[in-house]
Amino acid sequence: MNSTAPYRIPPPLRDLVMIDLLELTGSTTATAELLTMSQPNVSRRYRSLARHLGLERRSDAPIGRRFGHTPWITLLRRGVNHHRLANGVLRVGSGRQLEPLFAEADWAHWVSLGHQQQRQWRSLLALELLDAVAMADLPELTSEEAAQLALVEVRPRRDGHVVLICRRDPMVLEICSRICGWMELP
């Protein structure tokens, strides 16, 4: 990882990341903001990508599967995620209230989640759309969830305390071990 320059999505991967951000935010406007693009450009690029890859937007599908849930998108997502993780950056999501705590964290690519997406954090992690979810309070986890997830205590700034609920991916856990200490699961 180059510590002098923040991670930037390589241009050839931007359209694939755009699909993930559309899934996470549910909005072309929010996705455009995250990618520093215009909203019409995001809409146009998604329509073109959907046409070329045979994707279909389904607003009635569950969150995380609305903009192009196909086997090959899942495989492409893993490749894009690997590139980001290899550069030491986690995709972290939560509500806007926690965003300021991560403003200076060069290891976090922050995604502000809407209320619906926040309630669906488990599936967003399972679909590998997020590497971690930031929460001010630890939610109750089933024993099965506790076995599949890692809990990490983060103090992004002196006045903040956050728990990251992370996927148990070796690269995610390696980044977590560098940035903070582990918490014991309840």
Q: And the tokens for 52?
A: 């070329």
pLDDT tens for the 186 residues of the chain, in order: 445 677 888 888 899 999 999 999 999 999 999 999 999 999 999 999 999 988 999 989 998 899 988 888 999 999 999 999 999 999 999 999 988 888 888 899 999 999 999 999 999 999 999 999 999 888 888 888 888 898 887 765 555 578 899 999 999 999 988 877 544 444
pLDDT of residue 170: 93
Q: What is the DSSP letter of 136?
A: S
pLDDT of residue 150: 85
Q: How far apart are CA 158 and CA 156, in angstroms?
A: 7
Kindly give, in sequence order, each residue whose CB lies less than 8 Å from that of residue 138, ignoring residues fewer than 6 positions away.
151, 163, 186
pLDDT of residue 3: 54
pLDDT of residue 4: 61
pLDDT of residue 182: 47
Beta bridge partners of 154: 162
List Cα–Cα distances, 119 to 29, 38, 84, in angstroms. 21, 28, 25
Supply the pTM of this predicted model. 0.88
Q: How far apart are CA 36 and CA 162, in angstroms?
A: 27
> What's the Rg (C-alpha) of the chain?
16
Q: And the tokens for 13?
A: 């991967």
Task: Check if the beta carbon of residue 133 is closer than 8 Å to that of residue 92.
Answer: yes
Domain ranges of the chain: 11-182
pLDDT of residue 186: 45
Q: How far apart are CA 136 and CA 175, in angstroms?
A: 20
Q: How far apart are CA 92 and CA 99, in angstroms?
A: 10
Which of 7, 15, 8 is closest to 42 using CA atoms? 15
